Structure formats: C-alpha cells, structure tokens
C-alpha cells in the first residue's frame, strides 16, 4: 500500500532502453507537447497566410494557402529536442519538404534566414534545410497544427534543436553568408545540433 502511494513521487518516468538511445545527451523524454513562445502568439488566418522564398535565388517564390495545399504533402515521423532539455519522441508532422519549395527558387547562397509572422527569426545553413531534413508543416499527428504550436504553418527541422523550427513561418531569405537570428543573437548556438549539445555560443 505504502509502496503504491509513493510511486508517483519517485520522479520522472524511466525511459525504456530503445527510446533512451534516441535521447540526445542532457535531454529527458516528455510525453506532452510544451508550448514555448517568446512574445505574443500571432493570429494568422490561412486566407492571409503567405509563404515566400527570396534573397539570393534565381526565381523568388510565393504561395498562398490554397497554392501550398496543392504541393506534394508528406508525413514526417520524428523526434524533437528543445534546448530547455525536453524531447518528444515518436511524434509526427505533415507538410511539404523544403526540397520541393527550394527547387524552383534556384538558391544561389549558402545560408538562410527564416522569418515568422510576429517577427521571430532563426538562421540555418542551406545544407540543414535540404536533402529531406526540413519541412513546412501544417499538421501534427494527423490534425491541423494548433495555433500555439505555429498554426497554420511552421518550419520543422527535427535534427536540430527545436528553436530552429520557426512557428508561423512567413518567409525564407537565402543569403550568401551566415547571420544570427533571434535566439542565436541572444546566446544560442548558430547551428544547434542536439547530438553535439550545441546549446550556447561557447558549445
């Protein structure tokens, strides 16, 4: 009886071995889906949402919600890792690969700045956005992406810390050099590989 009662107070649930191997160093498995937003939550009705690709490209691109819905859509099973140390294992999103979005734009640069409705920015190397590693997603676990998680559309870059996955994504500017985005200007690592624990500038 006493053992039963005290069970809930022994701390975080143990992560089974096969999942533990998917946890980068310093991370714990979170079963919920925490919301982390710097500042207010923008309201972006799908009818006024636009996604643009501009900057150092051969042909700038822009999609309305309706046009975006016509692009090849894929399901993306993945694990996500927040720099604040929670990881969500075995989740899934649905959206359009950056390979599809960048194909017609003909990028001429090496890096990108991602811009969100509300002003958030984050930087990525093009190499981290291409070859099946990044998506603009509109669904989470089969449902429309909730507004607090970036709905109607967010970037998803699951192999890097989750601050790179810009919510309410509005635009991708291709650059021929690297520039720090919002968190990267405030002490977060320029790349943010969770397997190398690239959390802060000094990592």
Ligand X SMILES: Nc1nc2c(c(=O)[nH]1)N[C@H]1C(S)=C(S)[C@@H](COP(=O)(O)O)O[C@H]1N2
CB of 73 to ligand X, least distance (A): 20
Site for Mo ion contains 36 (CB under 5 A): yes
Binding status of residue 82 toward Mo ion by CB under 5 A: yes
| Sign of the Cα pseudo-torsion (76, 79, 83, 85, in order) | positive
10 Å Cβ neighbour count for 122?
Answer: 24
DSSP annotation of 118 reads T
Q: Which of residues 26-65 bind ligand X (CB under 6 A)?
A: 33-38
Asked if 199 interacts with ligand X (CB under 6 A), we say no
Kindly report the number of other CB atoms within 10 A of residue 63's CB atom. Answer: 19
CA distances from 193 to 80, 177, 196, 200 (A): 12, 19, 5, 11
User: Residue 1 Cβ, how far from ligand X at the closest point, in Å?
Assistant: 39
**Is residue 118 at the binding interface for ligand X, with CB under 6 A as the rule?**
yes
Nearer to Mo ion, 115 or 164 (CB): 164
Q: Whose structure tokens read 């990044």? A: 134
Which residue, among 187, 149, 184, has the nearest Cα to 169 in the 3D structure? 149
Contact window for ligand X (CB under 6 A) among 47-55, 93-101, 103-111, 116-124? 116-124
Candidate ranges 11-19, 54-62, 112-120, 173-181; the one touching ligand X (CB under 6 A)? 112-120
What would the two tokens of residue 170 be? 């509005």
| Residues within the interface to ligand X (CB under 6 A) | 33-38, 82, 116, 118, 120, 149-150, 162-163, 165-168
């Amino acid at each position: 009886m006493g053992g039963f009662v005290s069970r809930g107070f022994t701390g975080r649930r143990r992560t089974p071995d096969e999942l533990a191997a998917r946890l980068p160093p310093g991370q714990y498995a979170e079963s919920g889906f925490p919301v982390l937003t710097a500042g207010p939550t923008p309201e972006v009705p799908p009818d006024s949402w636009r996604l643009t690709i501009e900057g150092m490209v051969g042909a700038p691109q822009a999609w309305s919600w309706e046009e975006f819905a016509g692009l090849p859509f894929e399901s993306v099973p993945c694990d996500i890792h927040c720099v604040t140390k929670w990881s969500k294992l075995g989740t899934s999103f649905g959206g359009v690969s950056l390979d599809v979005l960048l194909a017609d734009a003909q990028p001429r640069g090496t890096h990108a700045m991602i811009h969100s409705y509300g002003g958030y920015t984050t930087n990525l190397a093009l190499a981290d956005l291409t070859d099946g590693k990044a998506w603009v997603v509109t669904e989470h676990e089969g449902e429309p992406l909730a507004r607090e998680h970036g709905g109607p559309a967010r970037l998803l870059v699951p192999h890097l810390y989750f601050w790179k996955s810009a919510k309410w994504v509005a635009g991708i500017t291709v650059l021929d050099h690297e520039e720090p985005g919002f968190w990267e200007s405030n002490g977060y690592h320029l790349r943010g590989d969770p397997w190398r624990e690239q959390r802060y500038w000094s990592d």
